[in-house]
Amino acid sequence: MKLNLRDDSLDLFRKKCKENKLKITPQRIVIYRELLNSKDHPNAEVLYRRVKKIIPDISLDTVNRTLLTFSKIGLVKNVEGYGEPRRYDPDVKKHHHFRCLNCNSIIDFYHKPYDDIMVPGDIEKRFTVTNKKVLLEGYCDKCGQTK
């Protein structure tokens, strides 16, 4: 197993683990890195199949628990509103999602004006809004024909 700990993409990983006193283990590195390389917002089982190619004896339960831990410490995000199984997002920066209703792909995009959408006054009074996210749904370029 090749592990390059000097890899820049692991900066956030190291920082979050340190802040939360989480041990940096090869398993955790591999799980995080596979998620980071996944552009499709995989659920635990999909990611497990990828991690298994690198660590053949890892269990789905381990991957599941590791992802829950990562999400608890803010290293990864859950993609909201897609029901079960929970899907994970390695990109914690502000961005939006397009979801294909046919193949269930979740595609990242960023559109600045969406950050400036107004929160209705009564919501603003009752709640503390910490995140505004736009979700677009429809058919992706691969599924366009099935409309």
**Could you say whether residue 29 binds Zn ion (CB under 5 A)?**
no
Residue 113 C-beta: closest distance to Zn ion, Å:
18
Return all residues near 117 (Cβ < 8 A) that are at least 6 apart: 132, 134
**Could you say whether residue 35 binds Zn ion (CB under 5 A)?**
no
- d(CA 96, CA 81) in angstroms, rounded, equals 13
Return all residues near 22 (Cβ < 8 A) that are at least 6 apart: 16, 28, 69, 73
**Could you say whether residue 73 binds Zn ion (CB under 5 A)?**
no
- d(CA 74, CA 20) in angstroms, rounded, equals 10
User: Tokens for 72?
Assistant: 């608890």
Stretch that binds Zn ion, among 2-10, 28-36, 48-56, 133-141 (CB under 5 A): 133-141
Nearer to Zn ion, 46 or 143 (CB): 143
**Could you say whether residue 76 binds Zn ion (CB under 5 A)?**
no
Nearer to Zn ion, 52 or 96 (CB): 96
Q: What are phi and psi of 107, to 5 degrees?
A: -115, 130
> From the list 32, 89, 90, 99, which residue makes contact with Zn ion (rule: CB under 5 A)?
89
AA letter at 26: P
Using CB under 5 A, which residues numbered 102 to 131 contact Zn ion?
A: 102-103, 105, 108
The residues that touch Zn ion, with contacts defined as CB under 5 A, are: 89, 91, 100, 102-103, 105, 108, 140, 143
